[in-house]
Amino acid sequence: MLFNSLNFLVFFLLVYGLYLALPHRAQNILLLLASYFFYGCWDWRFLSLIAISTVIDYWAGRKISSTDGPKARKFYLLISLFSNLLILGFFKYFNFFVSNADALLHFVGFDASAWRLNIVLPVGISFYTFQTMSYTIDVYRRELNATKNFIDFATFVAFFPQLVAGPIERASKLLPQIAGARQVSWRAIQTGLWLIFWGLFKKVVIADNLAEMVDEVFGWHVQFNAGTVFLGLYAFAFQIYCDFSGYSDIARGLSRCMGIELMVNFNNPYFAPNVSNFWRRWHISLSTWLRDYLYIPLGGNQKGIGRTYANLILTMLLGGLWHGAAWTYVVWGGYHGVLLSINRLFASRREKKLVPLPEYGWGRVVRVIITFHLVLIGWLFFRAVSLDQAFDMLLSAIRSPVVDPDVVNKAIAMCILCMPLWLVQILQERKADLMAVFQLPVFARSLLYFTLFMMLLVFGNTGSHQFIYFQF
Amino acid sequence: MNPFRLLQSVYPHASVVLAVLLLIMANMIFSQPRIQNDFWPLIQSRLNPDNKDWFMRHVADIRRESCTLVHPVSLPAIAFVGSSQVRQGIDWNLMETLLPDYHIRNCAVPGMDMLRACFAEQLLLQPSDRVVVLWISELDVRPDASLGISWMRPFATWSGLRHSIHSLNTKQRARQWRNMVDLALASTFELWRSRDYLRHILFHSLSSGSTRSAVEQSFEGDWRKDVRTFDIEDMDALTAQMTALFLFVSTAKANGASIVVFEGRVNPSICTETSEKRRSWVRERLLAAALEYGFDYIPTAQQQVQIEPADWSDMTHFNVAGREKMTRYLAQFFNAWRGRTDGPVNTADQSVDFMKYMK
């Protein structure tokens, strides 16, 4: 059941109507049942994985909390981590490791291809396993008290607006909101509806229309040349952003309408003036998760320059692997790790020489454009079917500087579709407020709503494309 | 005081209301015949020159004609309704030469079946139609009662939607509620009805594309499904198709037109036992309905034209020779018919119980 489907509209209206009518404890039971139904619509068999993860982490959390001995606490933490990583590793990475091991063993005359299994990847598995792992780790670190209420915990794990594609919420933020009584203010509903509307616009008008261009290029349906490669890349950059941030916006909007505040997952990432800043604006829930549970435990920047760079690269490599079991994701992660390291190197040199970079005006614009294009190269590896295709496209763009009329048509369409996005984001950046739309005068806001309504009505893609991040 | 600020203070959600009003206004402007007259040629100029965008081209032709009566109104019109079998089965220039006293209207759209014809009736039929000609083979009464959005959306009207829904049984309606919502929206908002075409302009702002449009691509699955389900007998779907046909006939008669239904021909090489069964099923019901309902039904046995195996270009369409034979036969038929249509048109019995023909 996709957010951009009529089925979901009916589902949400029914759930929301009931939700508003019920008292707090009953609301949580309703949310849990609705979340399991929502997930079961994809494949009810995988509900068992969520249930297993929930039961183990609830039990581990309680045990860690009630035990004082450091060894016992670590033991229960390891049970939680091991079970989550086992589920994730088996469903997501088993075939990847087997096929790579097979390729290696092939050199010495062994055949391990029979080990490959026909495994279906459960939707959203990376999101909810990371979310539950953060709970037990926080309890272990004594940053959070283990919850005693199983329904609350199960609702935290399976909360349907963010179950399949995040944001990866922290228990310390979401659990108290589930456990405590909630107030739904008119202002929350108003801003929640805007987030839903804006997210739908990004998904249905921009992402799904650009998806057709992207699929054409990366599906080898066109001859690679500079025009098609750049069209594919620019289109993918906005497709993935609008697809994922659109989902996050809708998730936040739905939750806000129910009185639950989810974290901001995207903060205009393409306006970042450097790669480090980009990662503070892109998929914030994952990058902060990796920072808190991987980069800092590895030593962060506290163990010397060399170790800092190694930690950065290792964290980003694993971040890349989190997205999918393929070398393209590993290369993408590694590429960002290297960019972050270079950025850190230059930043520390500038600090020593006391040469600040321009934060406003054209200097900043140039830095934003350069950062965007560095990120764009990364997207090539992220989206390519294989590393061969990525390099083939790069070489074709250089060797064949041709632009077809079809590409010009599509580039114009892309600009028209993205125009409202750019205007709203410029406004958000200037006002440093993601809700800056509400600061607009009434006529300007009417024109904006009208444009968005109109584009949704006319250009909205009704093909019900899946969200890209569901596969992760 | 700034009027917008005043509005905001009086009504805090003025911006949403104003946006909705602007949207309604934009829809009204876009629906105006003058805008529509300019819009459809704009589409036609952006279609693939090598006929890859065949469906969009036909829709643009019909939509354009429906907003501009381009033919001389004084001439009585003969509207030919059907699928690509009709569109490619008639030499339209020859037909116009052979029937100079009629305005010949080509209302055939590839992929049309009875449910779709019934749905599109408001845009296909015009008050000047003296005769409405239907061409019905077993392929036009498909064992499929789905409301195909890509095909139907540009023809959406409330009466067409009402008739289509009326043709379906409860189970079929429940299964297709999402399509019905879409088509209801299309019947209400011209912007939604023409959205596939507005999108086409968006993606072809400078020129026609070399690739097929998204609308055309959406039919690929349809044809495959057709071939796949050709032998499947779904009585519910066949019943829906026949009910839709009778509703279409009813509307045409209410407009004052006479109806002539020709039994369509299919290349004998694709006929199977099931298709023959369906052919006789359709024929029996049409013969019975024609007698009671007052329309002419001409089965293939009564059609005075010899179609040879060499007259087919493929499984379902005539080649040039077959097309000429059929056109000459039809022209001859309507020249003979002329005397009859000069008399009063039979508009009796609009309240026929269609279901009795389905038993």
Q: In the predicted model, is pLDDT for residue B343 greater than 90?
A: no
Identify the pLDDT of residue A350: 73
A186 in contact with B at a CB cutoff of 8 Å?
no
CATH label of the domain that carries residue B124: 3.40.50.1110
- The mean per-residue pLDDT over the stretch A352-360 comes to 67
Q: What are phi and psi of B298, to 5 degrees?
A: -115, 100
Residues of A in contact with B183 (CB under 8 A): none
Angstrom distance (rounded) from CA A442 to CA A455: 20
Categorize the per-residue pLDDT at A284 as very low, low, confident or very high, splitting at 50, 70 and 90. very high
Angle between helices A387-399 and A226-257 (to 10 degrees): 130
Contact between chains at A406 and B210 (C-beta distance less than 8 A): yes
What's the number of domains chain B is made of? 1
Question: In this predicted model, which residue has the larger pLDDT, B214 or A45?
Answer: A45
State the smallest CA–CA distance between residue A7 and chain B in angstroms.
8
Task: Report angle CA B223, B224, B230 to the nearest 5 degrees.
Answer: 85
Residues of B in contact with A446 (CB under 8 A): 14-16, 18-19, 22
Looking up tokens 């902060």 gives A288
Q: Do residues A2 and A461 lie in contact, with contact meaning Cβ atoms separated by under 8 Å?
A: no
Which one of A105-114, A142-151, A344-353 scores highest in mean pLDDT?
A142-151
Question: In this predicted model, which residue has the larger pLDDT, B306 or A111?
Answer: B306
Identify the pLDDT of residue A183: 86
Sequential DSSP letters for A295-358: ITTTTTTSS-HHHHHHHHHHHHHHHHHHH-SSHHHHHHHHHHHHHHHHHHHHHHHHHHHT-PPP
Residue B215 forms part of a structural domain: yes
Neighbour count for residue A327 (Cβ, 10 Å): 16
Regarding beta strands B296-298 and B77-81, do their DSSP bridges make them parallel or antiparallel, or are they unpaired? unpaired
Residue numbers of B between 87 and 106 with CB closer than 8 Å to A: none
B18 in contact with A at a CB cutoff of 8 Å?
yes
B77-81 sheet: strands from edge to edge: B103-106, B77-81, B129-136, B258-263, B296-298
Residues of B in contact with A410 (CB under 8 A): 203
Residue B6 forms part of a structural domain: no
What residues contact A105, with CB distance under 8 A and at least 6 apart? Answer: A111, A112
Convert the pLDDT of each residue in A294-348 to its tens digit. 999 888 888 888 888 888 999 999 999 888 888 899 999 999 999 999 988 888 7
Residues of A in contact with B8 (CB under 8 A): 441-442
A335 conformational bin, left if phi > 0, alpha if psi -120 to 50, beta if neither: alpha
Neighbour count for residue B2 (Cβ, 10 Å): 10
Identify the pLDDT of residue A52: 92
Convert the pLDDT of each residue in A157-169 to its tens digit. 999 999 888 799 9
Regarding beta strands B258-263 and B296-298, do their DSSP bridges make them parallel or antiparallel, or are they unpaired? parallel
Identify the pLDDT of residue B77: 84
Identify the pLDDT of residue B347: 38
Residue B357 forms part of a structural domain: no
State the smallest CA–CA distance between residue A409 and chain B in angstroms.
5
Q: In the predicted model, is pLDDT for residue A354 greater than 70?
A: no
Whole-model pTM?
0.84
Q: Which amino acid is at A210?
A: L
Kindly state the helix (H) or strand (E) to which residue B130 belongs, with its residue range.
strand B129-136
Residue B329 forms part of a structural domain: yes
Task: Give the three-class secondary structure for A460.
Answer: coil
Give the range of the structural domain holding residue B239, as residue numbers without chain letter: 13-341
Identify the pLDDT of residue B303: 85
Gyration radius of chain A's alpha carbons: 23
Contact between chains at B199 and A458 (C-beta distance less than 8 A): yes
Q: In the predicted model, is pLDDT for residue B284 greater than 90?
A: no
Sequential DSSP letters for B160-173: HHHHHHHHS-HHHH
Angstrom CA distances, A455 to A243, A416, B113, B178, B237, stand at 16, 10, 32, 21, 36
Q: Do residues A130 and A152 lie in contact, with contact meaning Cβ atoms separated by under 8 Å?
A: no
Q: In the predicted model, is pLDDT for residue B227 greater than 60?
A: no
Kindly state the helix (H) or strand (E) to which residue B333 belongs, with its residue range.
helix B320-341
A6 in contact with B at a CB cutoff of 8 Å?
yes
Task: Report angle CA B241, B245, B249 to the nearest 5 degrees.
Answer: 170
Q: Do residues B235 and B101 lie in contact, with contact meaning Cβ atoms separated by under 8 Å?
A: no
Q: In the predicted model, is pLDDT for residue B275 greater than 80?
A: no
Categorize the per-residue pLDDT at A130 as very low, low, confident or very high, splitting at 50, 70 and 90. very high
Instruction: Find the residue in B nearest to A414 (Cα).
Output: B203
Q: In the predicted model, is pLDDT for residue B339 greater than 80?
A: no
Going from N- to C-terminal start, the domains of chain A cover: 29-181, 187-273+357-471
- The mean per-residue pLDDT over the stretch A439-468 comes to 87
Angstrom distance (rounded) from CA A290 to CA A126: 13
Average confidence score pLDDT of chain A: 88
